[in-house]
Amino acid sequence: MTTDIPVLRTGADLLAISPVIPVVVVDSVADAVPLARALARGGVPIMEITLRTEVGLAAIERVAAEVPETTVGAGTVTTPEQAAAARRAGAQFIVTPGATAGLLDAVLDTGLPLLAGASTLTEILRLREHGQQAVKFFPAEASGGTAYLSAVAGPLPDVRFCPTGGIGPANVAEYLALPNVGCVGGSWLTPGAAIGAGDWTAIERLAAAASMLGLPG
């Protein structure tokens, strides 16, 4: 299990923490800390807690305060107000599904590392103009998948990606094999049924398997 706490300066730093960034939907604040600890025990010391539920910010706050070995970020950030609230809650990075001018400015103003979503060359170029060398490719499968990422590596060799959306055990290896992919985002490490049952051992096992992805042999 990784024990060193990474120093995060840019979105690119996030790509080196784990082959998979778990995309987590939390329905109960009480689940946040044991979930984070199970992931970390399995070798995945990072998690993106989405703001798709009312308890997302509170869950981030709990993990940030109680699980220092985990790098916790806020996902599905869609408004400037959410970006500011995520920073106050203790989020260490921010993930957005897209990047309007106002949202991008607000996230950059927080000073937190960003993985902004993009699915077209124009969107990727706009993010690069704002200093973003790491991009969330979303929705990955619906936007062309590995074929698209292979194609954009030619004109944009300096941009690396965290593809998210439609990725799971059946196709994750194909994404991680691409030289311009640093990690992927996925929800299969934290299935709702396991969280609801408090089956942290099952989540630890899924994390342990994910932590080995992309390793030689």
Task: Kindly name the residue from 48, 66, 141, 204 that is annotated as catalytic.
Answer: 48
Question: Does 81 qualify as catalytic in the annotation?
Answer: no
In angstroms, the CA 96 to CA 200 distance is 27
Task: Kindly name the residue from 66, 123, 136, 174 that is annotated as catalytic.
Answer: 136
In angstroms, the CA 131 to CA 63 distance is 29
Question: Does 129 qualify as catalytic in the annotation?
Answer: no
Q: Could you give the residue numbers annotated as active site? A: 48, 136
